[in-house]
Structure 1
């Protein structure tokens, strides 16, 4: 079929699209534009640093010359956390040093930039990698989510990674069935629902 969406590696030219898609899916999978004063806030945490610091594991879904979805991953969560602590969070801390929360979700991002958290040891012990995936509504059907995840899992396996985890918003629990069909199992439920798969 002509004009089928394609999966390709993300490049720096895709960063604006990553910010946009992350914002438009940051409210438990729905548009969070009204919940952040700065449209780049969610992407600064959940999308762009992956494409920047782990580019071999950042892929976009392009349809009609427009990026409509992405999957990103860190193959080694602890090493990724250390790299962000050295090269990403300090830049944002400087950039946003005078920012105050304005919109409903601003503090979530500003707090995480100023006080980055670390993944729980029980997650990284067996599932050392982690991933994030987001697709805009026009491409949420048709199996593209599955294809993006499978593309990412193949890249992680090829790099010798033996396990990967992800987090699902408590408000978006219905998507857990999708991940279970892809081979993920429940690990723990606290601030989010964490699922993992051995590779």
Structure 2
């Protein structure tokens, strides 16, 4: 196994991996338009902080990646990236994404009426770094995810970053267990994530932080 930082020659291969990694998980596809989803959760990391974008290879084949950011305050927020993707890809003119955003609006209204916590960006100076990690189905159980995370935690220590956060889903129990093994702990409430459904069920945000 090889873990190394992203280089420009990896762009096409990583983009292809983004499209198939996570298959079968609750976050396999959010609004059904892969290009715009990559514009939120992958492309900005390739363009703005490639040195914190780590790749895993098994027998020379790219099987996983960790897109990290050492200081979230210096990086466009997820909300800002999503807004840019919505307008740039004209998602409101596409049937499947339009259905997602209408559902998200209804969920948001329901949360306000019930006065429940809302899902959204994480902002806390104690945990300034953040990450997204994804491994192809065929590489799960090979240690690729743990190797990526180990290299990322080494990077946090190298740059004296006090802490890191991530956002996953309560219902993605496999991911939650993995992050706990890596030293992350659950943090805060578990609000509904507007718009997302898995097997017809609403899903809930799980913030996790490192170190405890």
Report the TM-score range of the alignment, normalised by the length of the smaller protein. 0.7 to 0.9
CA separation in 2, counterparts of 1:149 and 1:105?
35
Aligned pairs for 1:88-103 (under 5 A) are: 92=85, 95-97=88-90, 100-103=93-96
Q: Which of 17, 20, 34 in structure 1 is aligned with 2:13?
A: 17
Q: 1:136 to 1:27 in 2, by over 3 A?
A: closer
Which residue in the other structure is 1:7 paired with? 3
Q: Which of 47, 54, 58 in structure 2 is aligned with 1:59?
A: 54
Which residue in the other structure is 1:179 paired with? 179
1:8-58 per-residue CA deviation (whole Å, 9 max, x = no partner) reads 11122322333333332456736847962x432222111221122111211
1:141-179 per-residue CA deviation (whole Å, 9 max, x = no partner) reads 121111100101111221121100111123313321211
Moved over 6 A (4+): 88-91
User: Within the alignment, does 1:139 sit opposite 2:105 as a pair?
Assistant: no
Residue ranges of structure 2 left out of the alignment (5+ in a row):
105-118, 194-204
Contact kept in structure 2, 1:187 and 1:194, CA below 8 Å:
yes
TM normalised by structure 2 equals 0.71
Does the residue aligned with 1:119 lie in a helix, a strand or coil? coil
TM normalised by structure 1 equals 0.75
Contact kept in structure 1, 2:36 and 2:89, CA below 8 Å:
no
Structure number with larger C-alpha Rg: 2
Contact kept in structure 2, 1:20 and 1:39, CA below 8 Å:
no
Does the residue aligned with 2:155 lie in a helix, a strand or coil? helix
Per-residue deviation, 1:119: 2.3
| Aligned-residue RMSD, C-alpha | 3.3
